[in-house]
Structure 1
Amino acid sequence: MLSQRSTLAIVAMDMKLGYPRVSTTDQDARMQIAALVEAGVGEDKIFIDHMSAAKTAKERPGLTELLKYARDGDQVYCWRIDRLGRSLIDVLNTVDEMTKKGIALYSLFDGVDPSTPPNEAPCCTSKISQRATDGRQLSRT
């Protein structure tokens, strides 16, 4: 007779993770953090950077840590898409890295949402491009 053992299955829940960034230590990220928490991101799952976007995504410790921590199925929320990088190519490279890892990206302010139907995807690309451009222009003034 075979013995029956109960097994405990551990199911990993997809996590909501957040990424706020401010350009200097003089700036305050509280507004971004509050928006992320309101979207359902736990405060312990927020990876923050206080540094210029002139640094590439790979040079920012908070974003680097988030990208190492995030797993397939996780959701990353940012307040605005331009928080992910200074240049359009840096933003797109970061988004591409997330996509390849199966991580969904949401931008609260810009309305970037991975559930966008494929025929509306150019609209999301346009939003990403415009937000990155706007962010660069604002930082120069």
Structure 2
Amino acid sequence: MTKFAYIRTSTKDQNADLQLDAIAKVDGIKRTYTDEGVSGTLASRPEWDKLIDRLEEGDEVVIWKFDRIGRNTMNVLEAVQAITAKGATFRSLTENIDLNSGPMAQAMMTIIAAFAQLERDTIVQRTRAGLEAAKAKGKVGGRPSVVDPKKLATIKKLINSGDHSRADIARMVEISPATLYRVIATL
């Protein structure tokens, strides 16, 4: 039996230290596969795919928490199915679920995965509600536009004159060509 660990962060900015610390306490881990900046909603993740391809009968996959292998119940169940189809087992450290411990572990895993999905769905719903409330109050999130009304008027005038290339217009109003093209798309 060979033990492998899997670690995933959703963004490049996230820190995997918590996961690494937990995995370091597990004896006998041969290799740790790490996907950085990869969403858990994606079915295909490069290091996850390598891990699944490498698994053999009797191997064990250790993770820190269910949401590292999938962001919804179906993702988690499919991930565990991919492991067990190879004849390997699965263990989640945070939820203390070890599929070697029998059918109750499988049932608990399904319930915990469903709650993880509920938590994610609730966060998404609250975020959308907050954005809508802010929008209703006239607040817009995100980075402030570099194109103020004065620059926009200048851009319109220069485009309508037909005397300047897009690159020239971008230089004249001191914005990047990409920004100019985004502005033009909204005109």
TM-score, with normalisation over the residues of structure 2?
Answer: 0.60
Q: CA separation of 1:134/1:60 partners in 2, compared to 1, >3 Å: closer, same or farther? A: same
Report Cα offsets for 1:21-51 as digits up to 9, x if no partner. Answer: 1111111112101211211254x60000111
Q: CA deviation at 1:78?
A: 0.4
Q: What is the aligned partner in structure 2 of residue 25 from structure 1?
A: 12
Within-5 A mapping of 1:59-138: 59-119=44-104, 121-135=106-120, 137-138=122-123
Paired with 1:135 and 1:17, the residues of 2 have a C-alpha distance of 27
1:110 alignment partner, SS class: coil
1:47 alignment partner, SS class: strand
1:24 counterpart letter in structure 2: T
Greater relative contact order, per chain length (Cα 8 Å cut-off, separation 6+): 1
2:90 counterpart letter in structure 1: L
Paired with 1:138 and 1:109, the residues of 2 have a C-alpha distance of 20
Q: What are the ranges of 5 or more consecutive residues in structure 2 without an aligned counterpart?
A: 128-187
User: Do the aligned partners of 2:66 and 2:95 also contact (CA within 8 Å) in 1?
Assistant: yes
Q: CA separation of 1:132/1:113 partners in 2, compared to 1, >3 Å: closer, same or farther? A: farther
Q: CA deviation at 1:138?
A: 5.0
Report Cα offsets for 1:29-76 as digits up to 9, x if no partner. Answer: 12101211211254x6000011122322xx200100110111110110
Sequence identity (%): 28
2:89 counterpart letter in structure 1: A
1:20 alignment partner, SS class: strand
1:38 counterpart letter in structure 2: K
2:107 counterpart letter in structure 1: P
Q: What are the ranges of 5 or more consecutive residues in structure 1 without an aligned counterpart?
A: 1-13
2:42 counterpart letter in structure 1: K
Instruction: Output the aligned Cα RMSD.
Output: 2.1
- Aligned residue pairs total 125
